Amino acid sequence: MSKISVALLLAVTFAAGVLLRGVVTPSVTLQAQSDRVFELRTYTTPPGKLEALKSRFRDHTVKLFEKHGMTNVGYWVPQEGPLAENTLIYVIAHSSREAATKSWAAFRTDPDWVKAKAASEKDGPLTTKVESIFLNPVDFSKLK
pLDDT at 17: 56
DSSP 23-90: HHHHHHHHHHTTT-EEEEEEEE--TT-HHHHHHHIIIIIHHHHHHTTPEEEEEE--SSSGGGGTEEEE
| pLDDT tens figures, 101-143 | 999 999 999 999 999 999 999 999 999 999 999 999 999 999 9
16-to-6, 9, 22, 59, 79 alpha-carbon distances in Å: 15, 11, 10, 51, 47
| pLDDT tens figures, 40-86 | 999 999 999 999 999 999 999 999 999 999 999 999 999 999 999 99
Task: Evaluate if residue 1 carries a pLDDT over 90.
Answer: no
User: Does residue 44 contact residue 86 with C-beta atoms inside 8 Å?
Assistant: yes
| pLDDT tens figures, 4-41 | 544 444 445 555 555 555 444 444 343 345 689 999 99
Main-chain phi, psi angles of 66, to 5 degrees: -60, -45
15-to-3, 5, 7, 44, 60 alpha-carbon distances in Å: 18, 15, 12, 52, 50
SS3 18: helix
| pLDDT tens figures, 119-129 | 999 999 999 99
pLDDT at 35: 86
pLDDT level of residue 98 (50, 70, 90 thresholds)? very high
Distance CA 83, CA 118 (A): 25
Q: Shortest CA distance to 92 belongs to which of 45, 142, 134?
A: 134
